[in-house]
């Protein structure tokens, strides 16, 4: 079982959440080339190690938030609550480390 630390509800089973992708910044649409925009939309880094991710608490508070997850060990560290969407970094909430164990 993987426990995901929702900043609003506390640690919950991963079955309550929807993965919303890598938490990377959206490029500026006024200055971005087509190649950069295509890369932002379709290319993922697929890192073996720590990755910043966005999650949505589907069966809880129904809010987006960001965590740092080690894709090898599934250790999760909460980073930020995100209001209004999965890509921003506003309203940062720093919380204590929470460990998830691989399923």
Of 40 and 98, nearer to Zn ion (C-beta) is 98
Complex with Zn ion: residue 58 or 97, whichever CB lies closer: 58
Cα separation, 16 vs 70, whole angstroms: 20
CA distance 68 to 62: 19
Shortest Å distance, C-beta 36 to Zn ion? 33
45-64 binders of Zn ion (CB under 5 A):
57, 60-61
CA distance 80 to 23: 10
| Residue 18 engages Zn ion in binding (rule: CB under 5 A) | no
């Amino acid at each position: 079982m993987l426990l995901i630390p929702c900043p609003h509800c506390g640690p919950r089973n991963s079955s309550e959440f929807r993965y919303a992708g890598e938490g990377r910044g959206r490029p500026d649409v006024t200055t971005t080339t087509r190649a950069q925009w295509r890369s932002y939309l379709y290319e993922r880094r697929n890192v073996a190690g720590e990755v910043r991710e966005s999650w949505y608490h589907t069966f809880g508070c129904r809010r987006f938030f960001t965590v740092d997850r080690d894709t090898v060990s599934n250790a999760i560290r909460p980073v930020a609550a995100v209001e209004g969407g999965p890509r921003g970094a506003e309203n940062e909430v720093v919380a204590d480390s929470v460990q998830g164990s691989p399923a």
